[in-house]
């Protein structure tokens, strides 16, 4: 496969910069979501939830490796992207995805609006598909590494939809 050469002055960022930037972006996303999330508040405790909802402590255990996989996959894909425009597309898609990710906790817990959170979750799932497709054009292994993240977000959407349905 022929790799398109870099334009003068547009070298690929080194691994420390790529992985550092993606890790920082993911850490900010996690922090923004965590500051809004409190499963112990009275409002949340009063909601009817499906029997198949995992215990609250499980969410942190799941999200930690998922966030690490997002940072690693995106950092790897940015390093494999053959030219600046492709890297910019990956970075923009990642930024949009992380913004949607962080917004879910704010919509659900801070605004106490499960319906708005469900709409945000649908957008997040669409963004996941776009991110995986965009990264897959450059790095199939990195795209495959995002599959558990997409799967968990789809599960979260089903859980969110069930909470909306049970609390009408």
pLDDT in tens, the chain (168 residues): 444 444 544 566 677 888 999 999 999 999 999 899 888 889 999 999 999 999 988 998 999 999 999 999 999 999 999 999 999 999 999 999 999 999 999 999 999 999 999 999 999 999 999 999 999 999 999 999 999 999 999 999 999 999 999 999
For the chain, helix (H) and strand (E) counts, in that order, are: 7, 0
Q: How far apart are CA 4 and CA 81, in angstroms?
A: 10
DSSP state of 51: T
- The whole-angstrom distance between residue 86's C-alpha and the CA centroid of its chain comes to 20
Length of the chain: 168
Sign of CA dihedral 156, 39, 31, 61: negative
Q: Is the dihedral of CA 111, 115, 118, 123 positive or negative?
A: negative
Where do the H-state alpha helices sit in 37-113?
42-46, 56-80, 84-105
Tell me if the pTM is above 0.75. Answer: yes
């Amino acid at each position: 496969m022929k790799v398109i050469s870099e334009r003068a002055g547009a070298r690929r960022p080194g691994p420390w910069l790529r992985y550092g930037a993606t890790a920082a972006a993911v850490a900010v996303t996690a922090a923004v979501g965590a500051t809004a999330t409190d499963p112990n508040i009275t409002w949340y405790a009063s909601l009817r939830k499906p029997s198949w909802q995992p215990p609250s402590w499980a969410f942190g255990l799941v999200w930690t490796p998922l966030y690490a996989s997002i940072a690693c996959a995106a950092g790897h894909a940015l390093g494999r992207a053959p030219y600046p425009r492709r890297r910019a597309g990956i970075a923009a898609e990642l930024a949009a995805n992380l913004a949607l990710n962080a917004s879910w906790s704010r919509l659900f817990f801070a605004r106490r609006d499960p319906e708005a959170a469900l709409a945000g979750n649908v957008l997040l799932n669409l963004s996941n598909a776009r991110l995986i497709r965009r990264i897959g054009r450059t790095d199939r292994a990195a795209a495959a590494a995002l599959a558990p993240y997409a799967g968990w977000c789809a599960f979260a959407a089903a859980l969110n939809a069930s909470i909306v349905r049970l609390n009408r």
